Amino acid sequence: MTSDVTNSSPKNANRSLIVGILLIVLGAIAIALPVVSTLVAETWLAVILASAGTTKIIYAFQTRDRGGFVWKLLLGILYVATGIMLFVYPRTGILTLTLLLGSFLLTEGVFELVLAFRLRPQANWTWALFNGIITLLLGAMIWFQWPFNAPWAIGTLVGISVLFSGVSRLMMSLVPPSDNSSQAASL
């Protein structure tokens, strides 16, 4: 059985091609309409949090005899309340999420730079350095332009991610199927 599902059959390759094209189109739309895509991403997160909180509350009641009931219940309520707050006050949610994203990227950039310098004796360590610098710059751009960038930042970044996922999927689906028998013989 092959682990490459995109090339295991022509039918799967066609599906992968279609999914890739769909992701490219959705990513382009998200980039073209960043305010709308930011609102969609924020609302989606609100629904996920509220749903997860509801599940946690149900779990708390189902396992109340195992201990920690109050903490499980409070955690579930926190999830639901956060989801509802994001849904009811989307602007505040977008501002908060954008600031958190900037903080996350700044922190990740610092960690990536530390990692890069720890990898310095290895070949190609400069890729980790480049990644750290870019991540740090993105975090700084978000942080220092906040709150003015909040309406478009998340939607643009999500759109870029979806677009590149689509390009990656499309390119992988265009690779001709490999002959597993010749690969096995070469190993």
d(CA 136, CA 103): 10
pLDDT at 2: 44
pLDDT at 6: 46
Domain ranges of the chain: 10-172
Show the tokens assigned to 158: 């999500």
d(CA 57, CA 80): 9
The pTM (predicted TM-score) of the whole model is 0.69
pLDDT at 10: 65
What are the 10-residue block averages of pLDDT along the chain, 187 residues in total?
A: 50 83 94 95 95 96 92 95 95 93 90 90 85 89 90 90 86 69 49
pLDDT at 166: 86
pLDDT at 34: 94
pLDDT at 164: 86
